[in-house]
Amino acid sequence: MIREFSLNDLVFMLEALRWTVGLAIIATIGGGALGIIVAVLRVVAFKPANWLAIGYINLVQGTPLLGQLFVFFFGLPLFGIQVDAWVAASLSLSIYASAFFGEIWRGSLQSVSQRQWEAGAALGLNYWQRLTHVVLPQALRISIAPTVGFLVQLVKNTSLAALIGFIELTRASQIITAATFAPLPVYTTAAALYFIICFSLSQFSQRLERRFHVTR
């Protein structure tokens, strides 16, 4: 039975939005933890570690996120590992994010002047001390804008989880559209909710950049 788009539908979309935000947070935490490891492996003075990180980045960035979602959701059960849509989406988005975070942070680390490394060595610091106490604080400031820029993309990419049945904002919009046959107000509302999240992230990034600029 066709019905009108109502307040109850909006509430359902807001409830689904929690899962969009939750999935983005999980992917950020998991991807960030793996991304730090990838970034360090990319810059450490050990060629096999560099090659391992490069291979991982090329593999993840060279395959579509949708394909990775399908591998985890449909592929793992073939090996007797049962996963639900939440786990599959969390794993695939975390791995996807880690490759991009790794490259963003690697670029930030390498953008710090070589003289900073030399200054740390002159103070008697070993490699890891120079990395953690001298280079990383400077690289952190450089990485703010590209990191938040990718987070915005990550929030929007959570919509692909709808294709494996995970009920986040996009999937909720599809369900409501099937019941109301009113795609324009439904998807306009969904787009507005995505915009609010992404715009808030962008504003937060600008505040962080101004704060770090002031403390230089």
Render pLDDT for 28-65 as a digit per residue (tens, 0 to 9): 999 999 999 999 899 888 899 999 999 999 999 999 99
Domains in the chain, number: 1
Q: What is the pTM of this model?
A: 0.88
Is 152 inside any structural domain? Answer: yes
- Tell me how crowded residue 20 is: count the other CB atoms within 10 A of its CB: 27
Residue 216: the pLDDT is 46
Helix axis angle, 47-61 relative to 7-43, nearest 10°? 150
Is 212 inside any structural domain? Answer: no
Measured CA to CA, the distance from residue 47 to residue 14 in angstroms comes to 48
Is 60 inside any structural domain? Answer: yes
Domain CATH for 129: 1.10.3720.10
Domain span at residue 82 reads 21-168
Residue 214: the pLDDT is 42
Average pLDDT score over residue span 86-99: 95
Q: Which long-range contacts (CB under 8 A, 24 or more apart) does 182-189 make?
A: 182/4, 182/5, 185/5, 186/5, 186/9, 186/13, 189/10, 189/13
Measured CA to CA, the distance from residue 32 to residue 50 in angstroms comes to 18
Is 153 inside any structural domain? Answer: yes
Render pLDDT for 129-176 as a digit per residue (tens, 0 to 9): 887 788 888 888 888 889 999 999 999 999 999 999 999 999 999 999
Interacting residues of 79 by C-beta distance below 8 A, sequence separation 6+: none
Is 105 inside any structural domain? Answer: yes
